[in-house]
Amino acid sequence: MPDREGPMLQPMPRLQVSPELLQATMDASTDMIQVFEAIRDEAGRIVDFRWVLNNHTSESKYGEVRGESLLERNPGVVQEGIFDTFCRVTETGVAEQDERYYAHEQFDGWFFQTVVKLGDGIATTTRDITEWKRSQAEVVRLREEVVQIKLAETEGQLAAIFATAPVGLSVITSDGCFVRVNEELCRILGRPREEVLALNVAEVTHPAYLAPSLKAIANAAETGMPSSLDKRYCRPDGTEVWASSIISLLPDSGGHGNRFLVVTTDLTERRRADQELRKSEALQRVLIAELQHRTSNLMGIVRSIADHSTRTSRDLSEFRAHFDDRLAALSRVQAMLSRLGEHDRVAFDDLIRTELMAMDGGADRVTLEGPAGVRLRSSTVHTLAMALHELATNAVKYGALRQSGGHLAIRWALCPGGTEGKPWLHIDWRESGVDMAPAGTWPGRGQGRELIERALPYQLGARTTYELGAEGVHCTIAIPVSSTLDVEESLGADAV
């Protein structure tokens, strides 16, 4: 056991990137989804994990546990090897899956768990498979019970089993003809009892699985041991159904036999559940990757805001004003992103209107002209929004939106501009009627200008210009976009 008194719990990291989208997706799952971060001692060894995130299903089992120690809440993970799995995945980055029986704390059942690395920790998806295990055990129990009973001595018992069994039961000959069937098998095959009894295995089996079916019968006859296979059956309406069959030789009074008991389980729901599980796991991987990418981008922007605010502020009060103002602009963008659907994008006209409204610029002195609904790439939204915020801030403090005779015109168009013919958004920001100070008194390079002339070209591959003209600022920005608008159509679109 690790030294519990050595490491101290560190403060939880702030998780603020698209929390609504991530939480809503996690809460839609009936599986328990949890995120843990590793706790290490001074030597760097993992000695515990701390809860970072839970979905609704997990909270219904644990309650609110974010920030708590895994080993304090669930010490049984050490005994069952789960803690070692968490450590191994965190250190190697190799995802693991396993079925486990866990009878500790508030749990007593079987669980299927997937563990993937996330930062210095792991994310888990845990499904309760207790009922499925019980169902499988019941199938095996039925098979073993029926095989051990001599057919001649147990006709009444066999009839009761056939009538009540929750799985398909049939007795077939060595050449595959049905001798006896129950109602569940008839339901699986989609045929009435009389029709099934007039057919053989070959006539209800998908052609691709006929040879394996006959081979399973032959193996059961030769070895006396049960044979099993998963196969597809064909129904009269043309549909197909997946099922799992276990074929056992029925001995006669002399210890020999030429008939077989077949136990058939409908796999339709199980395969559907498996497909949904794979989709859920794939979506989880996509969301985790997107979360990591957006977190990295957002932290870089916040770091840049803090650095520049520090360099341009005379004291702590001025730093706080600058930093809070820029952080508020970043928060507005996050709010827009959080309201989007899975495949939606932020539109440029919504972005510029939101920023101008927040700056409370004179609407009567602003002209907006360009096509509506130009979809911005998610990777460009934060940086572009901060550049527009700096332009708007300068206009309100010093330029067209401060001086009574000033006017701001923002025009944009969608044009082909990429090497693969992908659309580019061309933005023209032009101030006029501004009484500019003499050239020698202009301030030095601000964060807005650095964003436009350096960050946008470097980070987004944009083409930009920035000029302090005789009547105010004139700036142009051209960036690639994820627009669904037709380029020719957008060129003739009415102003918005």
* Fold equal for 19-128 and 132-266: yes
Q: Answer with the residue of higher pLDDT: 12 or 161.
A: 161
Q: What would the two tokens of residue 69 be?
A: 């120690």
Tell me which range, 108-122, 128-142, 258-272, 337-351, is most confidently predicted by mean pLDDT.
108-122
> Is the pLDDT score of 48 beyond 90?
yes
pLDDT at residue 492, as a whole number = 42
Tell me which range, 11-20, 44-53, 161-170, is most confidently predicted by mean pLDDT.
44-53
Q: Residues 115-137: what's their mean pLDDT?
A: 88
Q: Residues 215-234: what's their mean pLDDT?
A: 89
What is the per-residue pLDDT across 165-199, written as a single tens digit (0 to 9) for each? 788 888 999 888 999 888 889 999 999 999 999 99
Q: Residues 359-364: what's their mean pLDDT?
A: 68
For residues 170 and 182, the answer to whether their CB atoms sit within 8 Å is yes
Spatial CB neighbours of 167, under 8 Å, sequence gap ≥ 6? 139, 142, 184, 263, 264, 265, 266
Spatial CB neighbours of 397, under 8 Å, sequence gap ≥ 6? none
Sequence ranges of the domains in the chain: 19-128, 132-266, 273-491
Q: Residues 307-333: what's their mean pLDDT?
A: 70
CATH code of the region 132-266: 3.30.450.20
Burial of residue 290 (CB within 10 Å: 0-12, 13-18, 19+) is middle
pLDDT at residue 158, as a whole number = 65
Number of separate helices (H) and strands (E) present in the chain = 18, 15
Q: What is the DSSP letter of 412?
A: E
Q: Residues 118-133: what's their mean pLDDT?
A: 89
For residues 393 and 446, the answer to whether their CB atoms sit within 8 Å is no
What is the per-residue pLDDT across 446-494, written as a single tens digit (0 to 9) for each? 667 887 888 888 878 889 998 888 888 999 999 888 655 544 444 444 4
pLDDT at residue 1, as a whole number = 41
Cα–Cα–Cα angle for 303, 307, 310, rounded to 5 degrees: 140
Percent of the chain with pLDDT strictly greater than 70: 75
Dist. CA 484–CA 375, nearest whole Å: 7
Residue pointed to by tokens 């003209």: 469
Q: Residues 347-372: what's their mean pLDDT?
A: 82
Number of neighbours of residue 138 by Cβ within 10 angstroms: 13
> Which CATH topology does 19-128 take?
Beta-Lactamase (3.30.450)
- H helices of 193-267, where? 193-197, 201-204, 210-223
Would residue 264 be called left, alpha or beta, if left means φ above 0 and alpha means ψ between -120 and 50 degrees? beta
CA distances to 287, 362, 390, 404, 490 from 369, in Å: 36, 16, 20, 22, 12
Dist. CA 207–CA 106, nearest whole Å: 49
H-helix or E-strand containing 393?
helix 378-397
Q: Answer with the residue of higher pLDDT: 476 or 254.
A: 476
Dist. CA 183–CA 165, nearest whole Å: 9
Residue pointed to by tokens 């360099």: 311
Dist. CA 103–CA 113, nearest whole Å: 15
> Is the pLDDT score of 220 beyond 70?
yes
pLDDT at residue 253, as a whole number = 61
> Is the pLDDT score of 211 beyond 80?
yes
pLDDT at residue 304, as a whole number = 65
Q: Residues 213-236: what's their mean pLDDT?
A: 90
For residues 371 and 414, the answer to whether their CB atoms sit within 8 Å is yes
Spatial CB neighbours of 439, under 8 Å, sequence gap ≥ 6? none
Class of CATH domain 273-491: alpha beta
Q: Residues 129-152: what's their mean pLDDT?
A: 74
Dist. CA 38–CA 52, nearest whole Å: 10
> Is the pLDDT score of 293 beyond 90?
no
Greatest pairwise CA separation for the chain in angstroms: 115
